[in-house]
Structure 1
Amino acid sequence: MVERIHYEGLPQIAGPYVHATKHNQTLYISGLTAYGTKAQSSDLPQQSQAILNQIATILNCEQRLKSDLVKLTIFVRDISQLATIREQLFEFYEGHLPACSLVEVSQFIHPDLQIEIEAIVAL
């Protein structure tokens, strides 16, 4: 059985999806962006922080730790900017490095957006 979840406190979804789904002791977090947050028109590090805060909110709601993160997929518009968020990611993981993929894309749903992150969490 698949459980579909919308989380209070996260930006409202503007498309045909949910914040996350649960299936077989795994939580799949949809691609999150800074869309609808104060960081929407900010630089990459500020948008990244807004997204990491959303992931932390979801982990808290699910009573999970950052050590439960299995995999992140990070989509960026300009891969040459990775260095601006590298340390931020290390701090967020708190020493529990997940598997991760980094993909450069040409655009997102809104021209302000520079990054999108999706995650898989062990329950």
Structure 2
Amino acid sequence: MKAIRKNYDILGKPVGPYVHAVKHNNQLYLSGLSAFGSIAQTQTIEFQAKEIFKQIEKIAKAENSSLENIIKVTIFVTDLKRIDELRTTLFEIYKENLPASSLVQVEKLFHPDLKIEIEAILAV
């Protein structure tokens, strides 16, 4: 089966050589999402994470899926000082549907205001 490359009108147009997501079989692979351009851009890591998951939820709904179907996330953060607060936020979002997860600290993201970027794989 051929992979389907997708952009979503509900998100800003990608500014680089990538698409928002690639759908293959029953899986949707999301590019890294951030709070860039939203009201959360200059806020805390928790607020930015919530904004990113709102984006993921919109994409999931567009694919007739939901946050419950997140299989895997890779989370990139610029600072681990607020990791406990971030974990609390993630538990609130995931509820009982915990995904496989990786957490990576990076020196910086593409804009200095950004504290977190999230990639995800969803069942659709």
TM-score scaled to structure 2, two decimals?
A: 0.93
SS in 1 for 2:46: helix
Instruction: Kindly indicate whether the alpha-carbon contact (under 8 Å) linking 1:11 and 1:35 is maintained by their aligned counterparts in 2.
Output: no
Instruction: Kindly indicate whether the alpha-carbon contact (under 8 Å) linking 1:12 and 1:36 is maintained by their aligned counterparts in 2.
Output: no
Instruction: Kindly indicate whether the alpha-carbon contact (under 8 Å) linking 2:34 and 2:117 is maintained by their aligned counterparts in 1.
Output: yes
Query: Any unmatched runs of 5+ in structure 2?
Result: none
User: How many residues are paired up?
Assistant: 123
* Match of residue 82 from structure 1: 83
- The reply to whether residue 33 of structure 1 matches residue 21 of structure 2 is no
Q: How far off is 1:12 after superposition?
A: 2.8
Q: How far off is 1:111 after superposition?
A: 0.8
Q: How far off is 1:42 after superposition?
A: 1.5
How many angstroms apart in 1 are the aligned matches of 2:94 and 2:106?
Answer: 24
Per-residue Cα deviation, 1:72-111 (whole angstroms, up to 9, x for no partner): 0000001222112212111211210010000000011111
* Match of residue 62 from structure 1: 63
- Determine what percentage of the aligned residue pairs are the same residue: 46
Instruction: Kindly indicate whether the alpha-carbon contact (under 8 Å) linking 1:11 and 1:37 is maintained by their aligned counterparts in 2.
Output: no
Instruction: Kindly indicate whether the alpha-carbon contact (under 8 Å) linking 1:20 and 1:28 is maintained by their aligned counterparts in 2.
Output: yes
Query: Any unmatched runs of 5+ in structure 1?
Result: none
Q: How far off is 1:67 after superposition?
A: 2.5
TM-score scaled to structure 1, two decimals?
A: 0.94
Equivalent AA in structure 2 for residue 45 of structure 1: E
* Match of residue 98 from structure 2: 97
Calculate the aligned-residue CA RMSD, in Å: 1.1
SS in 2 for 1:58: helix
Equivalent AA in structure 2 for residue 39 of structure 1: A
Q: CA, structure 1 residues 27+114, in 2 after alignment: closer, same or farther (shift >3 Å)?
A: same
* Match of residue 18 from structure 2: 17
